[in-house]
Amino acid sequence: SRNGGSVSISFPGGFEIGYALLGGSGKVFVNPFSLTGAALHLQEVQVKKGSSVAAPSPYRYDLSHTFRNTVPASPMFHVRTSSLAKTVTTLRAPGTNTNASLVSGPMVDDLGGMFFDSPVWLPSAVTEYVTPGVTYGRALVYGNSESVLILKDRKLPVGTSAGETVGAAPFDLRGPQYMGAYRQGTTMWLNEDSPFSDAAGNFGFDNRAKVSYRLSSGGKTLLSTVDQSPSKEARVTVPAARADYALTETVSRTVPYSRLSSRTTSEWKFSSASATRPADLPLIDIDLSVSGLDSKNTATSTDRIRIGATATARLRATETVTALEYSTDDGATWTSLPVTSTGDSASAELTVPADASFVSLRVSAVDDEGESVRRTVIRAFAGPAPQPERTVGATKISNIVVNDGRPLAVDPFGAFFSVTFTATDPAGIADGDAYLYHGSYDKPDHVLINPEPARCTKVNATTSTCELIYDIDSRLDLGKNSLAGSWKVAAWAHSKDRKSYTDLHAAKTVNLLRATRLSANATPEPIRKGKTLTITGKLTVANWETSTYAGFAGQSVRLQFRKAGSSTYTTVKTLKTNTSGDLKTTVTASRDGYWRYSFVGNSTVRTVISAPDYIDVQ
């Protein structure tokens, strides 16, 4: 079925009419025309019918066609699978199962096309069929668009092409996509814009990350920024004369869609002088690779993995990797690895300890111009041991409340609810966040991630209240009735001085229930005493897979009566719904009162009581 599509018209000189976007079975009607240099561009992404975030399509058709100079009376283009390009894209997970989106768009007439996404589950493999001979821009978007991996443009021929692996750890700064650290005259600009690129060199960034810079020279601090947005550029004035500098960049993140590269630090030492034109600073970059990891970027205790590091100077220089170290306690202690080196590259083998939840890496390199770098990646990849909850210092989380404490029932269309919690620390709270997951923490089979991190509001010097607002679509965000039931809330918070934090994996349990409806109708009314009264009804339950209410078959429902003037209902009998969820029974009319049906739910469906039907007995 169509996941998304567009129609646009371009004219000579690069002018283009805006896009008409298509969804579902929507259509666009175009008047036939004939104009040299004009073109009608069609684009459509198709996935397996019924796909959702929880049950994504294993196939993706990325189709485009252009009618040039003229448009026929019926501007429809037919394509066969055998005439398309086919490839398999393997998507690795960042240390945990999580949801993501695969995004692509054709680059047509240098104008570009619309980019459409389709859900994917990490880890997975997606069989892609694309229009051959067309260059597609692509991206992998983690969570709900906060973190993006910009994939290399791709143009494939007809037939089967070799696949690629996307999202291989370690995620690290692999040189800026554009000018990241440069100077002109006496001004230096700092904006290292790709700190979460994958091992294949696909540039990546994360809007939830925090970036800190420190620049010093001769023992004097020239610039110090703490926890700024990764998109914010830092600027500092420096002396015109050549001087030695030390630059440290620290990027940290704690996010629901990744457990890897929680903190990366680059420590550069270099020399720089005034430049008349913008020029890159003479920094050294490190490209890390790890072979032997599984689809979640995890090493087992029995596998011997190989770690590779390559140093690259941004300006002309000859580099040498001087050291390679690893840590299994998030950088508290380090162990040197014996390396095999060939100048700018080095490698080493490691059998990951069985008790390691994560492995961090640290690499040092120098060049023949006197510059140096030490790159640290905390949690570069996952280890074989379970990932435990951790609390460092006095940070605490309490009073987690979901949906204001009310039962959380999701109807066929979705639900709107909040998650709130209290975070405390003697130094105050810098930030906090939470998400919901189904299954186990290490291997969830689904997650609900809010598009934005929690908003934490300061209560006093030590306490903040944090809130997330969820607005979920039952079919798109859930998509499987089997997901009804017990979910866990994972939550974390950091102190304002960044010296302590708490990371809770199962801070709260909540049931996501399928909403139910129940009706009752007693006839005839009014009725004479002693006559037979018939009470019908229907029990339906939300179907998250079809966005409808469906008859709930085989369920026990109680028929209850409350006499006029009383406030208490009494159960008269219990009956079961038929295959369509219908109810029907008879009783003898004896007195005025209210009749209703009552259904007691469970951990997957919500309790529901019908509206009462008053009967006047004469």
Domain positions in the chain: 2-166, 181-382, 390-512, 516-615
Could you give the count of Cα atoms lying within 13 Å of 510 in the half-sphere of its Cβ?
24
Token duo for residue 599: 């259904």
Could you give the count of Cα atoms lying within 13 Å of 162 in the half-sphere of its Cβ?
2
d(CA 492, CA 375): 26
d(CA 204, CA 193): 8
- CATH class, range 390-512: mainly beta
d(CA 596, CA 28): 50
- Provide the phi-psi class of 268: left if phi over 0, else alpha when psi is between -120 and 50, else beta: beta
Whether the Cβ atoms of residue 122 and residue 99 lie closer than 8 Å to each other: yes
Residue pointed to by tokens 């300890």: 353
Domain boundaries 516-615, corresponding CATH code: 2.60.40.730
pLDDT at 112: 60
d(CA 338, CA 340): 7
d(CA 278, CA 179): 9
Contact partners, residue 491, CB within 8 Å, separation at least 6: 397, 400, 421, 432, 433, 434, 504, 507, 508
Q: Do the domains at 181-382 and 516-615 have one common CATH topology?
A: yes
pLDDT at 173: 92
Which of 328, 326, 379, 329 lies closest to 348, judged by CA?
Answer: 326
Question: What is the radius of gyration, based on Cα positions, of the chain?
Answer: 30
109-148 burial string, b = 16+ CB within 10 Å, else e?
eeeebbbbbbbbbbbbebebbbbeebebbbbbbbbbebbb
Residue pointed to by tokens 């949690």: 379
d(CA 6, CA 19): 6
Whether the Cβ atoms of residue 203 and residue 172 lie closer than 8 Å to each other: no
Strands 485-495 and 501-514: antiparallel
Domain made up of 181-382: CATH architecture:
Sandwich (2.60)
pLDDT averaged over 10-residue windows placed end to end, the chain, 618 residues: 87 74 78 86 90 90 91 85 97 96 82 82 97 94 90 96 97 81 94 91 94 96 93 93 97 96 97 92 95 94 89 90 96 95 92 95 95 97 94 96 96 96 97 96 94 95 97 92 97 94 96 98 95 97 95 98 96 97 97 97 96 96
Token duo for residue 475: 């079919």
Helix (H, G, I), strand (E, B) or coil at 534: strand
pLDDT at 27: 81
pLDDT at 110: 52
